[in-house]
Amino acid sequence: MMFFHGVAVSKGVAIGPVFKPRLEVLGVGRDEVDDPEREIARFREALATARAQIESIIERLRDQGAETRLGILESQQMMFSDESLVKSVESGIREKHCTAEYAVSQVVDHFIETFNNIDDEYLRDRVADVHDLGDRLMRILLGKRESAVTRLERQSVIVAHDLPPSAAAQIDPSKVLGLATDVGGATSHTAIISRALEIPAVVGLGNLYRRAENGDMLILDGRKGIAVLNPSKELLERYRRVQSEELAQLQSLRELRDEPAETRDGFRIELAANIELLSEVDAVSTHGADGVGLYRTEFLFLNRDDLPGEEEQFEAYTVVARQLAPQPVVIRTVDIGGDKFLSHPDVPVEINPYLGCRAVRFSLSRPDTFRTQLRAVLRASATGNVHLMFPMISSLEELRQAKTILAECMEDLDEQRLPYDPDIEVGIMIEVPSAAILADQFAREVDFFSIGTNDLIQYTLAVDRSNPSLAYLYQPFHPAVLRLLKNIVDAGHNAGIWVGMCGEMAANPIAVPFLVGLGIDELSVSPVNVPLVKATIRAIDFRRAAMVAEELINLRHPDEILARLRRDLPSEIHRYIDLNGDEETPDMGDEPEPSPDVAETGR
């Protein structure tokens, strides 16, 4: 029995035999060629074949109704059309007189090094896209079959060093019990796919792939980020009981799909979903959300050497607006920094992009790009119930500049007689302490607030939450954070506007009663988290929650606040969060001390 610790990315418990896809390293040496143009022709033919393969997979998934997985493959389609990649390979062949496969390997290695040097976790996890692209081209050029990681004859837990995005998109959820990888993060494709399909998944397990053999029994705990290889009979029985209870409670949560997010004494909360890819739209309705509270538009701007045009953006926003109408869709203008436009020549790399030219600052520094997005959002507002939101506003001057450009865009559309909603609601994300402190002033100039707790907590406490050595300082229940939240909600309500929250705190069932007690109007969470948040809201009493919230504001220590929240949480919700791993790990009996290599993690 061996224990491995990684990063939990999709909740649930999986128990079953291991299936290991074969790990094959496609290395090539530098062989000189006499005819570079012939090698370029080979490369172009391989590129066309690769595109056709991806298109074939996309069509097959569409025929299967697997819309939730198309976004990943469509982003790969874009990468195969990346002119900088194509030109780099062809230049390498001409300059070095080398084979097409060697040139591909060199360019892919360079792209991977570039991605690995980026601070942003989401973009670092796109390394898997580049690996997958290179692997596909290399296999075609070398005449090797595509790696088949999903040909399962029986239900199994897939254990891989890393799961190629194209393979992850094709997994059969009826055969795959769980996903476990040695590498990867919370925003990797393995994580995105597993959450979309609600398959338990743990990444960053270090060396599980090397230790496991096909057919070995594996327990995968997607709540705590634990994998147990060849568990004892006693531990297996304990986890089977947990799994059975979890499935029963999951079914009870699903039964709430069509119920309102309303407290026992009738206080109604709008419970929306956060989405990023068009493929996630179906999950909004499936999980019973009241529309979209945060539509991240960054995916349109990544993995490309140009900027998306108005028509491309208009079409993407319209798909979501039409499909969810008349439910609201809050579209956030691009929240991205200069460091994230990898191939765009006019965007300088910043030393500290988190405090640099990102989000609305980037948009205001490039008014033409900003106008293109605002026009697309405005035009989409004629097709559904669209709201517009500006991220990372830190001053009234920034807000007023953004609104001025928005007004100019409306005038342009009027002149062109293009339809839009002239009464579109315009709001801001409150994620910077200056905006939280001056919330009363901002509230006079917008239609709504949406609190982004992820950044607000980091900036308030001066803590990088991705730094494991400082994790103990990242405290969502810090008294300073709670007071800022109360100030924001009160300022919004005093001005007659609604206040929502779209950060991770909104999805924490322990925090929900406090947020409800503050009188928050809307919570927006990942689609998969909607049922548990709804169950929590429906289990509490608003009047009592308001009294508890008032008490918590006056407490001085995060541990004291957290203990008070746990004590007041309804017992039926305690059962859910126990199973979701927010409390102690289920008893594992006498866990052996792992050897140094087994104890490694991918964190």
Pair of tokens at residue 112: 């991977």
pLDDT tens digits, 247-272: 887 788 888 889 999 999 999 999 99
pLDDT of residue 126: 59
Active-site positions?
Answer: 189, 502
Q: What is the mean pLDDT of residues 270-286?
A: 87
C-alpha R_g of the chain: 25
Q: What is the mean pLDDT of residues 512-526?
A: 96
**Alpha-carbon torsion (276, 171, 60, 108), positive or negative:** positive
Please determine, for residue 588, whether its predicted confidence score (pLDDT) is greater than 60. no
- Give the model's confidence band at 595: pLDDT under 50 very low, under 70 low, under 90 confident, else very high: very low
pLDDT of residue 146: 63
Closest-CA residue to 390 (of 399, 401, 378): 399
pLDDT tens digits, 71-104: 666 666 666 666 777 888 999 999 999 999 899 8
What share of residues in the chain are helix, strand, coil (percent, to 5)? 50, 15, 35
> Regarding predicted confidence, which is higher, 591 or 313?
313
Q: What is the mean pLDDT of residues 263-286?
A: 90
* From 120-124, 447-451, 551-555, the region with the lowest mean pLDDT: 120-124
Site of tokens 């969502």: 476
Q: How many other β-carbons are positioned within 10 Å of the β-carbon of residue 215?
A: 11
Determine if the pTM surpasses 0.75.
no
The residue type found at 270 is E
Closest-CA residue to 303 (of 48, 72, 52): 72
Listed ranges 129-138, 448-457, 569-578; the one with the highest mean pLDDT: 448-457
pLDDT of residue 148: 55
Q: What is the mean pLDDT of residues 503-517?
A: 94
Please determine, for residue 460, whether its predicted confidence score (pLDDT) is greater than 90. yes
3-state secondary structure of 444: coil
Please determine, for residue 246, whether its predicted confidence score (pLDDT) is greater than 90. no
pLDDT of residue 437: 96
Q: What is the mean pLDDT of residues 131-136?
A: 79
Q: What is the mean pLDDT of residues 322-331?
A: 96
d(CA 515, CA 505): 9
pLDDT of residue 196: 72
- For 387, 388, 428, 443, the CA distances from 404, given in Å and listed in that order, are 17, 14, 15, 17
Structural domains in the chain plus CATH codes: 2-22+148-231 (3.50.30.10), 36-142 (1.10.274.10)
pLDDT of residue 429: 96
Please determine, for residue 21, whether its predicted confidence score (pLDDT) is greater than 90. no
pLDDT of residue 509: 93
d(CA 317, CA 84): 27
Maximum pairwise Cα distance, the chain: 81
Q: Please give, one letter per residue, the 3-state secondary structure of 171-182.
A: CCCCCEEEEEEC
pLDDT of residue 190: 73
Average pLDDT, the chain: 84
pLDDT of residue 395: 95
**Alpha-carbon torsion (10, 293, 530, 318), positive or negative:** negative
Q: Is 70:182 a contact under the CB 8 Å cutoff?
A: no
Burial (CB count <10 Å: 0-12, 13-18, 19+), residue 68:
buried
pLDDT of residue 590: 41
Pairing state between β 522-525 and 425-430: unpaired
Please determine, for residue 20, whether its predicted confidence score (pLDDT) is greater than 70. yes
d(CA 199, CA 176): 8
pLDDT tens digits, 34-79: 899 999 999 999 988 888 887 877 777 666 655 555 666 666 666 6
pLDDT tens digits, 385-438: 999 999 999 999 999 999 999 999 999 999 999 999 999 999 999 999 999 999
Rounded to the nearest 5°, which phi and psi values hold at 274? -95, 130
Pairing state between β 425-430 and 385-390: parallel
Q: How many other β-carbons are positioned within 10 Å of the β-carbon of residue 508?
A: 22
What whole-number percentage of the chain has pLDDT above 90?
A: 51
Residue count of the chain: 603
pLDDT of residue 280: 80
Q: What is the mean pLDDT of residues 366-382?
A: 96
Closest-CA residue to 331 (of 372, 297, 301): 297
